[in-house]
Amino acid sequence: MKKLIAILLLSVLGAALTAPTAEARGWRSPNAVTLWWVIFNNPENCTFNPGGAEQCGSVDVFGQAFLDSVAAGDPNPALIAPNLAAGLGVVYGTGDRTNRFGKIRLVASIYRSPPQLSLGAETIVDPMGLSRALDNPDAEIHLIVRDHGDVVWWDLESQILGFLDPYCVDPLLETGQGPNVCADKQAAIFGAGQEGEKDVYTLDPVPKRVRGASATLIRNGDVVQAIVETRLDIRD
């Protein structure tokens, strides 16, 4: 009997040692993720690609001086100068966590805002102090997928309700604290009046299409809806 028990224990131990790990299976620890609307109510005033189907870009959000400081490896948030003539609005969409394969589905809606809505003071949601509103339902809209790092299981809500959270730092804005890094990872761009389904791209220096990901934008009068299905790379 003792010999049989020993054989069984060795068999179980051997199976445990040879079983594929979660990483080998393609699994990963979940990440906290938020979705953001970056809205250009007056895209004709953008400077990134005047006259194009999609006219606006990061230069219209941050200004060229700040982007140059990032490229030089010394980000200086004091240089941020958004193109307010483009009617820029930065609005929280929604948040959730990825599954064990890094996949996530994010759904958000935004409505035309009252003309008097202007939240210009800096907050944890809007650290650049931009006015946050949708004035023009036909505006150029960029959907931004922001990674907040590993899920903090006992406080996931705090991670997915703002631009920053108590557990992350943003190296570009030089703000925040905690073990995680908050960073914009992916984007889908819809020019003025565009809707339907588009690809999702990484925000690397050379953007790459995220395989199997898609973003759908629906314009319905004063309501704009977005559905983003994507994945964060297992190596992120």
Cβ neighbours for 137, distance < 8 A, ≥ 6 positions apart: 112, 219, 221, 222, 223, 224
Q: What percent of the chain has pLDDT over 70?
A: 79
**Phi, psi angle pair for 230, to nearest 5°:** -150, -175
Most confident of the following: 12-26, 42-56, 163-177: 42-56
Distance CA 222, CA 45 (A): 22
Query: Which residues make beta-bridge pairs with 230?
Result: 104
pLDDT digits (tens, 9 = 90+) for 200-214: 999 987 889 999 999
What single letter denotes the amino acid at residue 47?
A: T
Tokens of 148: 């907040």
pLDDT digits (tens, 9 = 90+) for 37-64: 999 999 999 999 999 999 999 999 999 9
Q: Is residue 132 within 8 Å of 82, Cβ to Cβ?
A: no
pLDDT given for residue 129 in this prediction: 55
Strands of the chain (E only): list them: 31-40, 88-97, 103-111, 140-150, 168-170, 175-176, 180-181, 183-190, 196-198, 201-202, 214-220, 223-231
pTM score, whole prediction = 0.83
